[in-house]
Chain A
Amino acid sequence: MSDVLGNPTIPADASDSLAVLEKQRSTAETFGIPLAVLLEITHRCPLQCPYCSNPVELDRSGKELTTEEWKKVLSELAEIGVLQVHFSGGEPTARKDLVELVKHASDVGLYTNLITSAVLLTRERLSELADAGLCHVQISFQGVEEALADRVGGYRGGHHKKLEVAKWTRELDLPLTVNAVMHRQNLHQLPDIIQMSIDLDADRLEVANVQYYGWALKNRAALMPTVAQLDECTHTVEEARERLKGRLTIDYVVPDYYALRPKKCMGGWGRQFFNISPAGKVLPCHAAESITGLDFESVRSNHSIAWIWQNSDAFNRYRGTGWMKEPCKSCEFREIDFGGCRCQAFALTGDAANTDPACALSPLHETIFKQAEREAEGETNRFLYRNFAGGTLESENGA
C-alpha cells in the first residue's frame, strides 16, 4: 500500500497551468513539512496478509493513541501545513472512533483518505464517513476471485464483502482506488484485476508488487515473482494505461530486487514523508521500526511534530547524503535515489547505512538477485500469516 504513498507518483502529462506540487518541490525543496501524512491508527486487522507492511512486532490496542490524542495530532498536522492525511492501519475501521476522527480532520481542513480492507464496513458506517467529510476511499484486493483472494487475506468471505463495499463507495459518490498487492501467486490475475477495477467504477488502480521487508521478507519464498512474470506484468500495465487513458489511472510499483537502480524510497529518508504509528511514534517510513538502534520520538513526548520532523536524531540520521558510505558516497545518482531503501539495506546487510542491495552497485546485488530467482522458481507456496502472535504458518491444505 504505502510504497506508493512513499514514492509520490507524478503524472507525466502535468500541464503548465496545473503543475504537480511534489514535482516542483522534488529537487529544490529539502525538508519542508510533507504534503501528506500516513496515520496508522491501529495495528488491529481482521485480515492476515502475509506481506503486511506493518512491522513484525505490532502495537497492541492498549498502546494506541486515544481519540483525544489523535484529534490533537490532526489539529497539529493541519497547523504546520500538512494538506492530506491517509487513515490506515492495520485496519482503520477497527477503531470505533473513526467517524469522529474523519470529522475532526475535515473540520481542521485536511483532505482525508481511507485506506481499508473494507471487510468491517457497513453501508451505514460508510455513509457516516462520507457525511463526516471523507474525500476518497482505497480498498485493497488480494485477487479477483474468492478462493485465492480469501486464502491470501486469511479471511473467509472477505473478497465478496470488498466487492460490496466498493459498490457502496461509488453509490455514495466517493472516488475509489483499487489497491492490488501483486506477487507470484496472483500475478496471473492482473488482466482480470484491471477489468474488475473498471467494473467497480474505480478512478485509480495501484498495481503494487510486494516490497520485501517485515512480514513480506518472512514470506519471500512464497511471494517472489519470476522475471518472466514480472515482464508480463509490466507489459500488461503499459498496454492497459494506453487503452484506459482518461478512464483509469494506474500507478505501478515494481519489486526492486529485479531492478538495476534502487527506488528513491519514501522520496528520500526524512525528505517528504512521515507516518505516525498506532502508539504515536513519528516515523520516516512505516517499516522504520525494523531498524534497530534508532530511537523514534512520540507525539506523546514534549516535542512538537514539527520539531520531531526537523530535529530528531532518527530523521536526521539518514537525511541528505552526509551519512553515506561507498559506493553511494561518490555515486552520481546519490541525490537521485539516496541509496535506495534504508530498511531493506538493514534487513539484508545488517547496516542501514549500506547501499540498498537492490542497487546494481551493491556488492550484494548479484547474490540477492540470484536468491530471488531461485525462490521464485521454487515450490514453497505456504504463507506465514500476519498476526499478533508473531505469525501462523498456513496448514498443508491451505486453511
Chain B
Amino acid sequence: MAGPRNISVSETSRPVLPRHAKLKYDETRKVWVILAPERVLAPDEIAVEVLQLCDGERNVGDISDQLAAKYAAPRDAILTDVIAMLQDLADKGFLTEAREKTS
C-alpha cells in the first residue's frame, strides 16, 4: 500500500512526479500540461521549470540553487516560492518524494 499521502515539502525533499501525473509539452495547444486522472493541469512557466528539475535525485535546495544562479535572484526568495509551489502540487496528490534506498 502507498505510504502517507500528505508529504511535507522541505529543502531536503527530493520531489518527483508520481507515475499517474505526467508533465508533457502539448504540441497542439503550445502549452505545458500535467496529465492526471480526469484532470489536465496547466502549470505556469516557473512551475514547469521547477518540475523539469524534479527528477527524484535533486533536492529542493539543489533546485533552488540552480534557479537562483540562472536568474541571478536571491536564493531565499526562490526557495520559498519553490516550496510553496511544490507543496500545493503535493496537496493535490500530484507530487511524491523519491524514497531512500536504505531505511
Report which A residues bind B (CB closer than 8 A).
4-5, 8-9, 11, 14-22, 24, 32-33, 35-36, 80-81, 83-84, 109, 111, 113, 135-136, 138, 170-171, 173-175, 177, 201, 203-204, 246-247, 249, 251
Contacts and interface: CB of A to CB of B under 8 A. Distances in A.
Contact of B47 (A11, A14, A17): A17
* A-B pairs, 7 with minimum CB distance: A81-B28, A111-B35, A175-B20, A136-B37, A21-B40, A21-B42, A17-B47
Contacts of B38: 4-5, 8-9, 36, 113, 177, 204, 251
Given A17-B44, A18-B44, A21-B33, 18 more contacts: A8-B38, A17-B46, A18-B42, A20-B42, A22-B40, A81-B28, A81-B29, A83-B26, A83-B35, A84-B35, A135-B20, A136-B20, A173-B19, A174-B19, A204-B38, A246-B6, A246-B91, A247-B6
A111 B31 CA distance: 16
Interface residues of B, number: 33
A83 B89 CA distance: 20
Interface in B44-84: 44, 46-47
Given A15-B88, A170-B2, A175-B20, A33 B42 contact: no
Contact of B37 (A19, A35, A135): A135
A15 B94 CA distance: 14
A170 B22 contact: no
Contacts of B24: 83, 109
* Listed residue (A11, A18, A81, A170) with the most chain B CB atoms within 10 angstroms of its CB: A18
A203 B26 contact: no
Contacts of A203: 37, 93
Contact of A20 (B6, B19, B35, B41): B41
A83 B42 contact: no
B85 A17 contact: yes
B100 interface: no
Nearest to A32: B29
Contacts of A18: 34, 41-44, 47, 88-89, 92
Interface of B: 1-2, 5-6, 18-20, 22, 24, 26-29, 31, 33-35, 37-44, 46-47, 85, 88-89, 91-93
Nearest to A22: B40
A11 B35 contact: no
Nearest to A19: B42
A242 to B, nearest CB: 15
B93 A201 contact: no
A361 B76 CA distance: 57
6 contacts: A18-B34, A81-B26, A113-B38, A135-B37, A138-B37, A177-B37
Nearest to A204: B37
B20 to A, nearest CB: 4
Best-surrounded residue of B29, B43, B44, B85 (most CB of chain A within 10 A)? B29
Nearest to B46: A17
Contacts of B35: 83-84, 111, 135
A135 B18 CA distance: 10
Contact of B40 (A17, A80, A83, A170): A83
Contact of B27 (A21, A81, A177): A81
Given A17-B88, A18-B42, A246 B5 contact: yes
A173 B84 CA distance: 26
A33 B44 contact: no
Contacts of A11: 39, 92
B41 A174 contact: no
Contact of A33 (B2, B18, B28): B28
A20 B20 contact: no
A52 B5 CA distance: 34
Nearest to A249: B93
Contacts of A16: 44
A136 B93 CA distance: 13
Nearest to A13: B92
